[in-house]
Amino acid sequence: MISKFEAYQKRNWTKIFSGYWSILTCSYLGLEHSKIIKETLGFGLDTVIVIIRKGWSSCYYDKSELETFGNQLAKHVKKNPEIVDSWCAQVKKNTDNLKKVMNQSQGKNISLSEFKSFLTLLHGYVPPYVSVKQIANFLSKEKLQKILPVLDESRLYSEDLYTQVEKFMQSLAETISKKTGYPTHLVLSCTKEEFETYLQKKVLPHKKVLEERYKSCGFIFRNGEYDLISGYTVKDLEQQLLGDMNQIMIKGQTAYPGKVKGRIKIIFDPQNVTDFKKGDILVTGMTRPEYVPLMEKAAAIVTDAGGILCHAAVVAREMKKPTLVGTEKATKVFKDGDLVEVDATRGIMRKQ
């Protein structure tokens, strides 16, 4: 299997998101990012890779595909500047519609047709959302300055939606768990096809299959179709994606300038964190609204994933805290408690 992944080592990868999203949710996100965006906009990405371990997921784009996609977005904006307002309006509208449907269906025995209605809304949300999120990374500084307030406002409006989607999936899994005796985390380890089969035929995969998958698995999406891998082969693939881990310095994108030194705290789950002190440096895959109390205490913020319109960047501009986003592997290169210097002005983080 290692030789199968060598082709991926020859490509440059960038981490797009990282956080607690289940195998089930990721199987839909991969479809949306590798096919539905392209079908909706007329252009998009072909290859998306997602790695999931015990509920923690990381999604990767091919950098060359992302650059082509971003430049095409920029051309659209140049020809039709009003399209940005249209994307932002769609994001807000779709956010409201999705939250309404999820609230109405929370805790219910949902049918396959009801679930597909939810998916239709989710699939419609993703293209304008990704367009808004990515366009800021491909515009000139002059153009970006003019529309950044509109983009920021749209992103903040919808920032907790994916968290709500995961909670919704979990509520559906909890309902199924009560009926089947399968633990909730194993129901969430189903692929989209397996989950929809259960809604129609009330049949789930064997527990052992789901248990193995929950420990470690990966999706390799190509134009909506995917290979699913699990076990030791996931580590092999991840090594191809991340490359050298023996580094004392990494680079990222400046979300807000400044330079500080401090001890890092690597936080994957912001709930019930008791040992984060004021002045610590927050390092994580990416932030979400539930990270805000920690961000308020932090001397600086560093994320693996994200661009100029990610949650960490938007909040950093409000809080005026040195912040690096899109470092790719800060959570892998550094260890909890390391003394580091974050020079967000220069876009680097260095171990002291």
CA separation for the pair 175, 80 (Å, rounded) = 46
- Strand segments, DSSP code E, in the chain are 13-20, 47-53, 56-62, 217-222, 225-230, 249-251, 253-256, 259-266, 281-284, 300-303, 323-325, 339-343, 348-351
Out of 45-54, 106-115, 190-199, least confident range? 106-115
Which structure tokens are listed for 143?
């153009």
User: Is the CB of residue 323 less than 8 Å from the CB of residue 301?
Assistant: yes
Q: What are the structure tokens assigned to 239, written together?
A: 């090594």
pLDDT recorded at residue 1: 43
Arithmetic mean of pLDDT, 38-44? 96
Res. 143: pLDDT tops 90: no
Rounded mean pLDDT of 100-119?
92
Tokens of 17: 């998101």
Dihedral of the alpha carbons of 14, 16, 18, 20, in degrees to the nearest 10: -140
Q: Take residue 53 and report the two structure tokens written for it.
A: 């371990």
Q: What is the mean pLDDT of residues 269-277?
A: 88
- C-alpha span between 147 and 154 (Å, rounded): 11
DSSP letter for 276, please.
P
Give residue 9's pLDDT. Answer: 67
pLDDT tier at 77 (50, 70, 90 boundaries)? very high
Q: What is the dihedral of CA 63, 250, 21, 119, to 10 degrees?
A: -30
What's residue 93's pLDDT?
A: 96
Model confidence band, residue 2 (pLDDT cutoffs 50, 70, 90): very low
Percent of the chain with pLDDT over 90: 74
Q: Classify the C-alpha dihedral 22-23-25-30 as positive or negative.
A: positive
Average pLDDT over residues 319-334: 92
**213: DSSP letter:** H
CB 48 within 8 A of CB 30: yes
Please name the CATH architecture into which domain 249-351 falls. 3-Layer(bba) Sandwich (3.50)
- Tens digit of each residue's pLDDT (9 = 90 or more) over 149-176: 999 899 889 989 999 999 999 999 999 9
Specify the pTM.
0.87
Q: How many CB atoms lie within 10 A of CB 201?
A: 9
pLDDT reported for residue 4: 60
Q: Where are the domains of the chain?
A: 2-240, 249-351
